[in-house]
Structure 1
Amino acid sequence: MAPNEKTQRWLNNTDCCFWDGVSCDLKTGNVVDLDLFGSSLNGSLLSNRGLFKLQHLQSLNLSSNNLAGFLPDSIGNLKHLTVLQLYGCGFFGNIPSSIGNLSYLTHLDLQGNGFTGELPESMGKLNRLTKLLLSTSKLSGNFHHALLNLTELTWIDLHSNNLEGRVPDWLWMSELVYVDISKNALTGFDGPKDAIQTSPLEMLDISSNTFQDPFPLLPNSTRFFSAFDNQFSGEIPTTICGLVSLDTLLLSNNGFIGSIPRCFKSFNTMLSLLHLRNNNLSGKFPEESISVGLISLDVSGNQISGELPRSLMNCTRLEFLNVEDNMFNDTFPSWLSLLPDLQFLVIRSNEFHGPIYSLSFPRLRIFDISKNIFTGVMPLDYFANWSAMSSVAYVTDNKQESVGFSFSNYHKSVVLAIKGSEMELLGSGFRMYKTIDVSGNRLEGDIPQSIGLLKGLIVLNMSNNAFTGHIPPSLSNLTNLQSLDLSENRLSGNIPPELGKLSFLALMNFSNNMLEGPIPRGTQIQSQNSSSFAENPGLCGAPLQETCGGGGEEVYEIVKEENDQVLSWIAVGIAYVPGVFCGLTIGHILTLYKPYWFMRIFHSFA
């Protein structure tokens, strides 16, 4: 008999047995604990009449089942319940008023259902309740006075509902430590500005509402404060500087003006996440605003000018840095290569200038320096030490725990340019994407052959520069590549036929160069629009209208010569792996195979 059938039969006859998830009082035989989490139950609870006869039940967990329909009034018969968990069951309609009969309840979890309407007034009778979880439903109305008497609450989660109006000041008279009221339609706080300051609050999330001024005065115990996607304005209040326990501050997508407060450095190693994205902040980025404990810093989409603060060199835990779309005027921050954990570097759309030196970024997964004024030649070995992008494995971000709240990369955001369109990358996309974007600069010379070492690369954009020479055949090593843009350069020669074998390469653009010869055959290349090859007078073959004549042998010789170069650059990549014996052995083989290229490589490192 299938487990769900056994469970359904047991619920209907109420016999006590020792199945998994069922605990009984050995003296009386009464069921006291029923945990049927994820047991494939379906249908309505009304059909499980035996469940509501378990008068001595103290803990009930039916979460992650398919118990659609209304939550029956008979739930109020289980008067000895202390824990009720019905997370993600598919219930809809109003929460029954009989819920108020469960006067012993300390933990109520009704998250992830489709409950509608306001909270029942009878919920005010649950004066022993410490944890209330009602997120991700369709609850509406104002903050109901039903919660007024719940003075024992330490944890309340109402995020992702349709609540509106203002947050009452009596909410802070309880023992609340964790409050998540994000993703509603709340507009502000009732009561005096300092109403929250007397609470023991550690975590407050009011993001994605329509909160306006005044900005709340938070208690010193605050560790996590998220207020992004609201309508706060004016300067960021310096009262935040006094929050000595603050670990996470998320104020993106508001209307803050003025400069960044000169105080965060005083937190020493405490502040790890500082996100001020998409405000109207201006002036220079003060050195004093950099906490050495930073893991993630996002000040993109503002009007910050001057140089990138050199105090970032002290942030040895920094993983994510996004300063795109500002007015920074500085040289390439080569000193960032000293940060061992840096994974995301985005400085696009600023006024960074000068050469970009060859550096080692072993953990970097997103590198975006587009739309600046960088000049010069990229060294041929530029990408030789970028280990993370050389691997096809995904890397899981570290998570910072804050009062039971798991911060992942959900709050991070980067805009990627793919074939002329912009795509915002957030959430799990950060674990998947490995991208390089150097477009919109003034870089020249050959595209480094060492690009072929980055086998995990998903997006490569080198468009709108002044690159010359041939397209490196080593690009054919990038078997995970999905988007390639080399347009608006001065590249010559043919498109390497090997690129036709890249089965994931869905988007490509070679337009506005000086390429010639036949367009390689291959399903992905042939499916491109003709605009991807436009403005290359020497190109021919589908999808262009121009047909190709002779010259096949000449094309073959070009490809053969460039393949020899690929072999040489594979040797360069391997040479970076520790081990003298391995290096000497491969060097000896290459010497026999291609003496001229081996000597050239040897002298380049001498």
Structure 2
Amino acid sequence: MKYVEDKMVFVRSLVLLLKFLFLYSLFSFTFTTCFPQIHPKCHGDESHALLQFKEGFVINNLAHGSPKIASWNSSTDCCSWDGIKCHERTDHVIHVDLRSSQIYGTMDANSSLFRLVHLRVLDLSDNDFNYSQIPSKIGELSQLKFLNLSRSLFSGEIPPQVSQLSKLLSLDLGFMATENLLQLKLSILKSIIQNSTKLEILFLSFVTISSTLPNTLTNLTSLKKLSLYNSELYGEFPVGVLHLPNLKILDLGYNPNLNGSLPEFQSSSLTNLLLDKTGFYGTLPVSIRNLSSLIILSVPHCHFSGYIPSSIGNLTQLTEIYLRDNKFRGDPSTSLANLNKLSVLAVGLNEFNIETIPLSFANLTQLHYLDATDCNIKGQIPSWIMNHSNLACLNLRSNFLHGKLELDTFLKLRKLVFLDLSFNKLSLYSGKSSSNMTDSRIQILQLDSCNLVEIPTYIRYLDDLESLMLSNNNITSLPNWLWKKASLKNLDVSQNSLTGEISPSICNLKSLMSLVIP
């Protein structure tokens, strides 16, 4: 009997417990639905620091972007402000993203921004700090992982305290201007490399370093992107950098006194290899085929020589190749013909000897930029080139191309903006051009030394034409319609057989900046 009573008591207790749990769940659901959880406010001292920072600047409405700080005010939670993020548990400000915020003014050496000691991300890029120096207190933001001060008109020497930011994953101090505004001492660069060992991104473009690069750069094994464009570097480049296992982008462009040669490549993650206008020399190694992820190969205005290895044809991800102004020789056609993702091919000003534009190039249908200036190309311009509907730039200047060519055929290239056929052995003539034939976008047309006896009617319907070069032909007169081309800025008809007077209508060319008619 007692057993039965105990069992009944247990059952009643269980029922009461289940009722309690049901009511509790219902109450909790009703409470959270009717009274949503309020996000805790950010710390008052951090809110005050941000508002104090805001007061130190004005909004430049003429700049592009969005004035994020304009909406900040003390009546709202700073964790909800535009460009601000707080830690989800501690509510400390950890993320300040003010890129392109139309900020104008001088950065105070004791800026309240540096009181945000929990910051992990600071992005002030693309603003105008009026040539102020980067404050040394930047070193107090010891938790920073991402620092971006690029394109923000900071100037002067980069303070050594930047090297104290040992947790940095990304450092971008780059800029693009007519002169380098920031300077970085070699000793500080060495300290950055030594202390910020986890760096994945290092952008110092247009930062004057004026030294050789330390070999310790090869210790940054996490490095993915390195840009030292126009940093006044010199001496021998530490070639081991090209073997860094995670490196995807390497940009050393416009350091003419920086020397080096390409190593034997092993398997690599490189996507962009940019050596424009450096002192790099030697050949492109056969092992370049191991750069299977390469998308852009840019080595113009260097000192490379030799043949283009056929193994480059294995780099099927390549979209842009710049080989202009080196001493490459031979015929690269076979090596390049299978790269059907190419949109840019710039091989001009080399010592190539190309018998004819190969038929296999007809497969490069993605091309929008083709520069083959002074490549000793012989033969005729093939008709299939008019099927390259994406071409925006076609430069075949100073070759040995010959044959008669109707200019109107270029009307098929609807995207063409730049056309240069100068200094070949071509005989150009105009077809049956009419105003309803063209929606051509050509802005620059260079037909010097093309055996022209008149200005082709084709030109009459180029409504966007800005530059027209027709020197060294056999043109005898200038048509009246030429003086109605309001877009024309540059005109050269020198070294022709012109007779008679120039029409007063030339005064209608209000945009004309350069005129050569000797």
The reply to whether TM is greater than 0.5 is yes
Paired amino acid for 1:330: G
Residue in 2 that maps onto 1:411: none
Q: Does the 8 Å CA contact 1:223/1:247 hold for their aligned counterparts? A: yes
Q: Does the 8 Å CA contact 1:380/1:447 hold for their aligned counterparts? A: no
- Among 276, 294, 300, the residue aligned to 1:207: 276
Following the alignment from structure 1 to structure 2, what is the Cα–Cα distance between the partners of residues 105 and 186? 27
Partner deviation per Cα, 1:227-252 (whole Å, 9 max, x = no partner): 22221222233443343433333222
Residue in 2 that maps onto 1:225: 297
How far residue 169 of structure 1 moved from its aligned partner, in angstroms, is: 4.5
Instruction: Write out aligned runs for 1:106-505 (5 A).
Output: 106-112=169-175, 113-118=181-186, 119-171=189-241, 172-184=243-255, 185-188=257-260, 193-194=263-264, 196-213=265-282, 215=284, 217-218=287-288, 219-260=291-332, 262-267=334-339, 269-282=340-353, 284=354, 306-357=355-406, 358-359=408-409, 360-361=411-412, 362-375=414-427, 378-381=430-433, 385-389=437-441, 434-444=443-453, 447-449=455-457, 451-467=459-475, 471-489=478-496, 495-505=502-512
Paired amino acid for 2:105: N
Partner deviation per Cα, 1:189-208 (whole Å, 9 max, x = no partner): 59xx32x4243222221222
Following the alignment from structure 1 to structure 2, what is the Cα–Cα distance between the partners of residues 447 and 92? 52
Describe the shift of the 1:370–1:70 C-alpha distance in structure 2 as closer, same or farther (beyond 3 A). closer
Q: Does the 8 Å CA contact 1:209/1:229 hold for their aligned counterparts? A: yes
Describe the shift of the 1:372–1:66 C-alpha distance in structure 2 as closer, same or farther (beyond 3 A). same
Following the alignment from structure 1 to structure 2, what is the Cα–Cα distance between the partners of residues 312 and 27? 60
Residue in 2 that maps onto 1:536: none
Q: Does the 8 Å CA contact 2:347/2:371 hold for their aligned counterparts? A: no
Instruction: Write out aligned runs for 1:505-524 (5 A).
Output: 505-508=512-515
Following the alignment from structure 1 to structure 2, what is the Cα–Cα distance between the partners of residues 367 and 348? 9
Following the alignment from structure 2 to structure 1, what is the Cα–Cα distance between the partners of residues 364 and 284? 29
Following the alignment from structure 2 to structure 1, what is the Cα–Cα distance between the partners of residues 56 and 506? 61
- Percent identical across equivalent pairs? 28
Give SS of 1:208's match: coil
Partner deviation per Cα, 1:393-443 (whole Å, 9 max, x = no partner): xxxxxxxxxxxxxxxxxxxxxxxxxxxxxxxxxxxxxxxx71333332333
Describe the shift of the 1:167–1:31 C-alpha distance in structure 2 as closer, same or farther (beyond 3 A). same
Following the alignment from structure 2 to structure 1, what is the Cα–Cα distance between the partners of residues 309 and 429? 45
How far residue 170 of structure 1 moved from its aligned partner, in angstroms, is: 4.1
Paired amino acid for 2:508: K
Partner deviation per Cα, 1:139-182 (whole Å, 9 max, x = no partner): 13222245344222222222210222333354324421222222
Q: Does the 8 Å CA contact 1:322/1:346 hold for their aligned counterparts? A: yes
Give SS of 1:140's match: coil
Paired amino acid for 1:167: F
Q: Does the 8 Å CA contact 2:337/2:361 hold for their aligned counterparts? A: no
Paired amino acid for 1:207: D
Residue in 1 that maps onto 2:152: 89
How far residue 28 of structure 1 moved from its aligned partner, in angstroms, is: 3.9
Following the alignment from structure 2 to structure 1, what is the Cα–Cα distance between the partners of residues 342 and 219? 35
Residue in 2 that maps onto 1:398: none
Describe the shift of the 1:477–1:111 C-alpha distance in structure 2 as closer, same or farther (beyond 3 A). same
Q: From the CA coordinates, give the structure whose radius of gyration is larger.
A: 2
Q: Does the 8 Å CA contact 2:206/2:230 hold for their aligned counterparts? A: yes
Following the alignment from structure 1 to structure 2, what is the Cα–Cα distance between the partners of residues 224 and 281? 21
Following the alignment from structure 1 to structure 2, what is the Cα–Cα distance between the partners of residues 376 and 70? 58
Paired amino acid for 1:23: K
Describe the shift of the 1:460–1:380 C-alpha distance in structure 2 as closer, same or farther (beyond 3 A). farther
Give SS of 1:162's match: coil
Following the alignment from structure 1 to structure 2, what is the Cα–Cα distance between the partners of residues 388 and 121? 55
Following the alignment from structure 1 to structure 2, what is the Cα–Cα distance between the partners of residues 155 and 263? 28
Q: Does the 8 Å CA contact 1:124/1:148 hold for their aligned counterparts? A: no
Residue in 1 that maps onto 2:83: 21
How far residue 66 of structure 1 moved from its aligned partner, in angstroms, is: 1.0
Residue in 2 that maps onto 1:61: 123
Partner deviation per Cα, 1:89-109 (whole Å, 9 max, x = no partner): 344454444334323222211
Following the alignment from structure 2 to structure 1, what is the Cα–Cα distance between the partners of residues 118 and 283? 49
Following the alignment from structure 1 to structure 2, what is the Cα–Cα distance between the partners of residues 35 and 328? 52
Give the alignment's TM-score, normalised by structure 1. Answer: 0.63
RMSD: 3.4
Paired amino acid for 2:270: L
Q: Does the 8 Å CA contact 1:57/1:78 hold for their aligned counterparts? A: yes
Give SS of 1:47's match: coil
Describe the shift of the 1:92–1:366 C-alpha distance in structure 2 as closer, same or farther (beyond 3 A). closer
Gaps of 5+ in 2: 1-49, 58-68, 176-180
Paired amino acid for 2:345: L
Describe the shift of the 1:506–1:452 C-alpha distance in structure 2 as closer, same or farther (beyond 3 A). same
Q: Does the 8 Å CA contact 1:93/1:114 hold for their aligned counterparts? A: yes
Q: Does the 8 Å CA contact 1:245/1:270 hold for their aligned counterparts? A: yes
Q: Does the 8 Å CA contact 2:261/2:281 hold for their aligned counterparts? A: no
Give SS of 2:440's match: helix
Gaps of 5+ in 1: 285-305, 390-432, 511-531, 533-606
Give SS of 2:337's match: helix
Partner deviation per Cα, 1:80-128 (whole Å, 9 max, x = no partner): 1121111133444544443343232222112125123211425322223
Following the alignment from structure 1 to structure 2, what is the Cα–Cα distance between the partners of residues 484 and 9? 51
How far residue 383 of structure 1 moved from its aligned partner, in angstroms, is: 8.0
Describe the shift of the 1:377–1:115 C-alpha distance in structure 2 as closer, same or farther (beyond 3 A). closer
Following the alignment from structure 1 to structure 2, what is the Cα–Cα distance between the partners of residues 169 and 377? 53
Q: Does the 8 Å CA contact 1:4/1:41 hold for their aligned counterparts? A: no
How far residue 312 of structure 1 moved from its aligned partner, in angstroms, is: 3.4
Q: Does the 8 Å CA contact 2:344/2:369 hold for their aligned counterparts? A: no
Paired amino acid for 2:170: H
Following the alignment from structure 2 to structure 1, what is the Cα–Cα distance between the partners of residues 283 and 483? 57
Following the alignment from structure 2 to structure 1, what is the Cα–Cα distance between the partners of residues 95 and 298? 37
- Does 2:98 align with 1:36? yes
Describe the shift of the 1:198–1:443 C-alpha distance in structure 2 as closer, same or farther (beyond 3 A). closer
Q: Does the 8 Å CA contact 1:319/1:343 hold for their aligned counterparts? A: yes
Give the alignment's TM-score, normalised by structure 2. Answer: 0.73
Following the alignment from structure 1 to structure 2, what is the Cα–Cα distance between the partners of residues 123 and 457? 51
Following the alignment from structure 1 to structure 2, what is the Cα–Cα distance between the partners of residues 508 and 148? 54
